[in-house]
Amino acid sequence: MLIGSEKVVLIHYTLTDDSGQVLDSSSGRDPLAYLHGKGNIIPGLEKALEGKQAGDKLNVAVQPVEGYGERDERLVQDVPREAFENVDEVNPGMQFQAQNEQGQARIVTVTKVADDLITIDANHPLAGANLNFDVEVTEVREPTAEELEHGHVHGPGGHNH
């Protein structure tokens, strides 16, 4: 079965940056399960998997525009220390969940701590990065009616709810 719209696809993958450092890998876990054509995974990877089948191995280089987007410096902001009043100690590298005006949750990373001012970065940690995926397709199957309705895959490597 070939990968195409609304097929359930299971892949093992290793993600590295341009220096060869491993950023993420499914090694030692269940393969990642996603519903093709539904935006479950980044566009560059989804596009490269189109037409592939179980057993296929591929290397995919994804530019930021088809990955997690370019960095947006407007998402770097200074906020007063009081905004973190329920946190004992704030250090660079810490991550918090915040909500934007649309009510969407996003992860912000503390990048700098001055006396009364804390600099946070709401860019995705992989924004602006070139992504290199080493992928093996392990299974391609039809979705269940429920998976189609939810727009994602259920079971190992997918959603559990």
Q: Tell me the closest approach of the beta carbon of residue 150 to Zn ion, in angstroms.
A: 3
The three-state secondary structure class of 49 is helix
Taking the complex as a whole, the smallest distance from the CB of residue 149 to Zn ion amounts, in Å, to 8
Q: What is the DSSP string of 120-154?
A: EE-S-TTTT--EEEEEEEEEEEPPPHHHHHHTS-B
Please identify, among the stretches 5-13, 74-82, 117-125, 149-157, the one whose residues bind Zn ion according to the rule CB under 5 A.
Answer: 149-157
Contact call for residue 38 and Zn ion (CB under 5 A): no
Residues in contact with Zn ion, total (CB under 5 A)? 2
* Residue with token string 């009364």: 116
Identity of the residue, 81 or 150, whose beta carbon is nearer to Zn ion in the bound complex = 150
150 binds Zn ion (CB under 5 A): yes
Distance CA 151, CA 107 (A): 23
Which is closer to Zn ion, CB of 38 or CB of 150?
Answer: 150
157, 33 Cβ separation under 8 angstroms: yes
Summarize as ranges the residues that interact with Zn ion (CB under 5 A).
150, 159
